[in-house]
Amino acid sequence: MDQIEEEDIYGFKVQHNTGSMLRITRGEYDIFGEDYALMNLSIVFAFKGTDYEKQLEEVEEILSQQVEENTVRL
């Protein structure tokens, strides 16, 4: 397993390479314009080695974070 990396996405602290195979990406502005902050949380089911329960725990942890409104606003 790769080393766990932490990233700040619009004020949310997320971790990559945890072994769960949860896919977390920063959304692209070209879809909605620069007035929006878009973060994608993709739960993976079909790949061998995915840990569905751990993915759910990680999503819950991310979504339960308290983020200041000014941090999210661009």
24-36: pLDDT as tens digits: 998 776 666 666 7
| Beta strands per DSSP E along the chain | 5-9, 12-16, 23-26, 39-42
Number of Cβ within a 10 Å radius of residue 22: 23
Which pLDDT score is estimated for 6? 96
Q: Is the pLDDT of residue 1 over 60?
A: no
Map out the domains of the chain as residue ranges: 5-72
- Residue 51 and residue 31: Cα distance in Å, rounded? 30
Q: What is the pLDDT of residue 73?
A: 56
CA distance 11 to 39: 11
Which are the contacts of 69, defined by CB distance < 8 A and separation ≥ 6? Answer: none
Q: Give 16-66 pLDDT, tens digit per residue.
A: 999 999 999 987 766 666 667 788 999 988 888 899 999 999 999 999 998
